[in-house]
Structure 1
Amino acid sequence: MSIVASRPRLPVAPYPASRYDVARVPSWQTIADPQWGELDMLPHREDWRLDRLGTRALGALRYNHFAIDGLRLRRTPRNLSRFDDPCYVVALPMAGASRNRIDRESIEITPGRIYFLHGAVSADIQPQGRYETFNLKIPTHLLKQRVASLPTAHAAELDGSNPRAELLGHHLRHAYRVAEHLGAGEASLLEGQICDLVALMLRGAPGTCCDDRSLVAAHKRRVLDFIAANHAMEGLTAEGIARSCGISERYLHKLFHDSGQPVMERLKELRLQKAKAMLVNPALSSLPVSEVAYRNGFRSLSSFSRAFRVRFGAAPSRLRGGG
């Protein structure tokens, strides 16, 4: 398939039109894929084309790339009900223009701009001739950790006047090129960085509330939630926590240094409090102290006992005995 774009071409795995039996479309036809959801399409010219439909994962994020000509697309409540995946889309149109209606908002999509669009509301996409776009689908919950109020639609120029938008656009393109070569931990780190850059671009957008303090609070909340869910994991390290939360280890330490308690101290405190609760629970009185230690991430009974004495001023066995 030949594709002419106003920007450098991005490599993508093409999905041939025949996969969807689109040659026999008399009117609206639904096309669907678990990777990118469901859309209705309607040809409005005899020489219509679905040139390309490609997708690539980056952690919990998903890149999509499609090129169409002579087709109108729509997303209806029925389409949305079949894919329970609330998301937003960051779009970088590459060629052509499209008049879109996202929920109740009208927006003209053209190359030279970056767009932030709600992906879990009704939409009507009306390309004006041949249209090609490259976008990234982001689960809504990842953005709500960072931005208090998300707009339905937002656009920013890529002409050098908006450095935040330029940074995001540049990062999206390069992350796409390396995505297939990354391990799970690296993809998770990049995923978090991209979400942070989206939040940065939205700073100052109408209806949003995004500042440095909200970003820091969101990062810290994400780390604390991860620790709470994984405190029993033996051998959990600062590096592992940072990688799982999509931030650098250096930034992780800075987050908790500023709060007065290092992150590993926060983890140890949680483990000790959980262990104490188990020790005083009558329903668990038959559980050996060593098992309590192991269930709360301690590698040995001796290291657990030492830490417990320092924190609570008594041996675990004394507490178990009601002391």
Structure 2
Amino acid sequence: MGVPPSKDAESWTSAGLATGQAISQWREWAASTIAPIEVEVFDADSFSARWISHGIGQLRLLHLYAPAQRVTHTGTEGSAGRASPSIQLVYSRRGAMKTLMEGKSFTIEPGQFVLLDNRRFYQMEMRTEHEALDLMMPQPWLERHLPDPGALLGRPIDTREGWGRPLGALLETLMDGLDVAPLPRPLIAEQIGSLLALATGFEDTNTCTPHRGQLARRILRRIESDYADPALSPERVAEACGISKRYLQTLLAGSGTSFVQELNAMRLERASDLLADPRARSLPVADVAYRSGFLDPGYFTRLFRKRFGITPSEWRAGHPPQS
């Protein structure tokens, strides 16, 4: 069945449970954790399943051992049901996954992954026992690396060629090397995001163009690169892109966000990374705030608590974030 779960992982197995109880728990967990999906098990009499869940910064890595089954997104379009809204990276280690999404039919073979939106319809059918990784990524986090992830949904990508290779190697390593990783988990999440951008072929431009999608990506990239500048403003970014402040706000609003929202999110994520880095343990929290672009440490602490549910000092001490 693979390596045992690490000390901080959550896990579940059908072993020792009555068949009906095991299937019921499997379905309930999938609907509340992954998406509002309906699970149809093809051979209930021989049902056997297991999952292990790891937190990696804002990400959630699910390692699944599952029977032959069909899963169908049953929620309304645009709804993640009881699960958190996420973009899923579904990576097959063993067993093919025949997938239907937005009128497209394709198969994810072992060694391939695909991006899915857990708020949109999809159906996956696995005719044999299978093993997979399901990496749950909040869309605001992912858009720092892939500003338009919707354009990449439903496109199988091979981890045995091109830039998919290092991403595939990292995913494989995470399964048995997370506890001995040399970096804090939020920093590991950043490596995943960077490799995902390479593997999917995302291209950035050095100058803004009239295309709305490219402009929005350019704005987000500028926030990502200059977040530590306390003077960074929508006026400055708009000027750099050759557009008006009003048009910048319109572009971001069309993506369901705003300049202030994206800037604060970026600063808080970088601050959380710095607080978790053992190399910066002697750095006062106020200095962490300044280095992340916040001039007012009190304002930084209030935003941090609102975002993560705990103070910066509690985060540094290793307390888990609160929902």
Give the TM-score category using the shorter length: 0.5 to 0.7
Letter in 2 for 1:152: L
What's the CA shift string for 1:22-55, capped at 9, x where partnerless? 526999x942265545532112235442321221
Task: Name the structure with the higher strand share.
Answer: 1
Q: CA deviation at 1:192?
A: 1.7
Aligned residues between the structures = 240
Segment of structure 1 superposing worse, 92-101 or 218-227? 218-227
Verify: 1:23 aligned to 2:54, yes or no.
no
- Contact preservation (8 Å) 1:41, 1:73: yes
What's the CA shift string for 1:175-219, capped at 9, x where partnerless? 343434579x811111122112212222259xx969x97885352
Verify: 1:219 aligned to 2:220, yes or no.
no
User: Aligned-pair RMSD on alpha carbons?
Assistant: 4.5
Q: Distance in 2 between matches of 1:19 and 1:182?
A: 33
1:158 is matched with: 159
Q: Distance in 2 between matches of 1:113 and 1:67?
A: 17
Q: Distance in 1 between matches of 2:172 and 2:219?
A: 26
SS class of match (1:120): coil
1:75 is matched with: 73
Segment of structure 1 superposing worse, 146-155 or 188-197? 146-155
SS class of match (1:111): coil
Verify: 1:243 aligned to 2:250, yes or no.
no
Segment of structure 1 superposing worse, 132-141 or 214-223? 214-223
Residues 200 and 42 of structure 1: is their aligned pair in 2 closer, same or farther, counting only changes over 3 Å? same
1:169 is matched with: 168
Q: CA deviation at 1:102?
A: 2.7
Residues 75 and 18 of structure 1: is their aligned pair in 2 closer, same or farther, counting only changes over 3 Å? farther
What's the CA shift string for 1:139-191, capped at 9, x where partnerless? 111111232322222222233x31x11111112222343434579x8111111
Residues 47 and 65 of structure 1: is their aligned pair in 2 closer, same or farther, counting only changes over 3 Å? same
Q: CA deviation at 1:81?
A: 4.6
Q: Distance in 1 between matches of 2:219 and 2:74?
A: 33
1:56 is matched with: 54
Q: CA deviation at 1:138?
A: 1.0
Q: CA deviation at 1:60?
A: 0.9
- Contact preservation (8 Å) 1:147, 1:214: no
Q: Distance in 2 between matches of 1:67 and 1:265?
A: 43
SS class of match (1:31): helix
TM-score (norm 1): 0.58
- Contact preservation (8 Å) 2:36, 2:75: no
Query: Counterparts in 2 of 1:40-119, with a 5 A limit?
Result: 40-77=38-75, 80-83=79-82, 85-119=84-118
- Contact preservation (8 Å) 2:271, 2:292: no
- Contact preservation (8 Å) 2:91, 2:134: yes
Identity, in percent, stands at 14
Q: Distance in 2 between matches of 1:174 and 1:115?
A: 19
Q: Distance in 1 between matches of 2:276 and 2:222?
A: 13
Segment of structure 1 superposing worse, 34-43 or 191-200? 34-43
- Contact preservation (8 Å) 1:52, 1:67: yes
1:193 is matched with: 191
TM-score (norm 2): 0.58
1:137 is matched with: 136
Q: Distance in 2 between matches of 1:35 and 1:180?
A: 23
Q: State which structure, 1 or 2, has the greater radius of gyration over its C-alpha atoms.
A: 1
Letter in 2 for 1:132: E
- Contact preservation (8 Å) 2:99, 2:125: yes
Residues 52 and 145 of structure 1: is their aligned pair in 2 closer, same or farther, counting only changes over 3 Å? same
SS class of match (1:147): coil
Letter in 1 for 2:225: K
Q: Distance in 2 between matches of 1:142 and 1:109?
A: 25
Q: Distance in 2 between matches of 1:265 and 1:223?
A: 6
Residues 23 and 30 of structure 1: is their aligned pair in 2 closer, same or farther, counting only changes over 3 Å? same
SS class of match (2:48): strand
Q: Distance in 1 between matches of 2:272 and 2:129?
A: 46
Q: CA deviation at 1:64?
A: 0.8
Q: Distance in 2 between matches of 1:266 and 1:72?
A: 45
- Contact preservation (8 Å) 1:59, 1:191: yes
Residues 87 and 26 of structure 1: is their aligned pair in 2 closer, same or farther, counting only changes over 3 Å? closer
Query: Counterparts in 2 of 1:278-297, with a 5 A limit?
Result: none
